[in-house]
Amino acid sequence: MRVLVVSAPLVGHVFPLVPLAVALRDAGHDVLLATGGGGLAAAGAGLPVHDIAPGFDFGRIALRVFPRHPLIARAELAGTAGTRGAGLLFGALNDQLTDPVVALATRWRPGLVLHEPFAVAGAVAAARLDVPAVRQENALFDGRDLVRATVARLGGALRRHGLSELPPPAAALAVAPPSVAAQGGWPMRYTSYVGGGELPAWLREPGDRPRILVTRSTLTGPGDRGPMPAVVAAADDVDAEIVLVRPDERSARSLPANVRVVDWIPLDEALPASAALIHHGGAGSALGALAAGLPQLATVGPGDRRHNAELVARRGAGLALRPRDITAQALTQLLTDDSLRAAAGQVSREIAAMPPPADLVARLAALV
């Protein structure tokens, strides 16, 4: 079976699709990953990758789209736009992606198309070829809502390919733990490719003090420095070892004695020896901490960050704070609040009970 995997050209969208793609490949199927931009780094997992977005610049799309919708743009920056801002951005993106994805699918002739919610170009290609499309969730929204918002802003892509509407998928794969968020579809355990980098030996074992890992987004906008500056400012008054992962230059310029710096690392391998994770509110970071059973502090911010952070806080597995509200007291609570750790452990066990990607391969093959 040939499987075309289609993703928006962004690291945080592509990497969660890789484990299932690898499982399909390892089961003997031919897999081709269609993406672009930073997502091309998924080739490091040993998958063939095709660039469907040469010269991709997400900022350029935002600058073209948002000035025409100032109220939605303002809400998107505050994290209160729901799916409206994402629909504008990814509708415009998919209008550009659809023609190259359909052309690729027509040449390669997959028997199955697997796509994430913000890559509806894959579903258009599947409809054109009359093959099954499967939506794979990679976030904490319900993918059905994301697809609807994207298709509503898709422009002329459907008409160009002879469609009046997007057919429903043959199946969907739900990765959110049900106690955190509701998604429709076959359950599948969340896991993600983490890219390159090597884990230093000292991060494989717990240190003398509890360790807090601090990460930042792979997609940043103007003035968006995430939680790192506030964590560094509070670090002197926290009894912990704090590790900044890929810090920006300003955050790493002058550090307290209990703060260390590392470059890109396989984060999933560092989490077991850590006590907590602080991050920008991205879905991958939130799900990674939940899978590891670690309390987390997620900052509320633009796009889906407020949504993700508030879901985690509502479940009791972490804190949702604005970066300027991060204090030594909050960091200490992250380490000492047993209720946070207990809730995170419950969700971790919930995720572990979901079928791993390899268990879905035969079920997907049966669709063809």
Q: What is the DSSP letter of 218?
A: S
Q: What is the pLDDT of residue 224?
A: 61
Strand pairing category for 241-245 and 259-262: parallel
**Residue 248: in which H helix or E strand, if any?**
none
Task: Identify the pLDDT of residue 144.
Answer: 97
Checking if the pLDDT of 221 tops 70, the result is no
> Which amino acid does the sequence have at 121?
A
Domain residue limits, the chain: 2-174, 201-352
The more confidently predicted of residues 202 and 225 is: 202
- Over residues 123-176, the pLDDT tens digits come to 999 999 999 999 999 999 999 999 999 999 997 999 999 999 999 999 999 999
Based on its alpha-carbon atoms, the radius of gyration of the chain, rounded to whole angstroms, reads: 20
Sole residue written with tokens 């025409």: 68
Q: Over 80: is that where the pLDDT of 222 sits?
A: no
Sign of CA pseudo-dihedral 110, 90, 21, 185: negative
Report the alpha-carbon distance of residue 102 to residue 106 in Å, rounded: 6
Averaged pLDDT for residues 291-316: 96
141-158 exposure pattern, b = at least 16 Cβ within 10 A, e = fewer:
bbbbebbebbbebbeebb
What per-residue confidence (pLDDT) applies to 219? 67
Fold: same for 2-174 and 201-352: yes
pLDDT band at 250 (very low <50, low <70, confident <90, very high): confident
237 vs 43: CA distance, rounded Å? 42
Please give the pLDDT value at position 334: 97
Is the separation of the CB atoms in 166 and 127 below 8 Å? yes
Give 57-106 pLDDT, tens digit per residue: 999 999 999 999 999 999 999 999 999 999 999 999 999 999 999 999 99
Residue spans of alpha helices (H) in 109-169: 121-129, 143-152, 157-160
Looking at every residue in the chain, the average pLDDT score rounds to 95
CA distance linking residue 155 with residue 95, whole number of Å: 6
| Closest to 174 (Cα-Cα) out of 163, 162, 182 | 182
Contact 232, 240 (CB under 8 A): no
User: What is the dihedral sign for C-alpha 252, 258, 261, 267?
Assistant: negative
CA-CA distance, 354 to 184, in Å (whole number)?
14
Classify 223 as helix, strand or coil.
coil
Q: Cα–Cα distance between 86 and 219 in angstroms, integer?
A: 14
2-174 has CATH 3.90.190.20 classification:
no
* pLDDT confidence tier of residue 226, bands split at 50, 70 and 90: confident
CATH class (in words) of the domain with range 201-352: alpha beta
Question: What pLDDT does residue 252 have?
Answer: 74
For 329, phi and psi rounded to 5 degrees? -65, -40
pTM of the entire structure?
0.94
Give ∠ CA 235-239-243 in degrees, rounded to 5: 55
Contact 179, 314 (CB under 8 A): no
Taking each continuous run of H as one helix and of E as one strand, the counts in the chain are: 15, 13
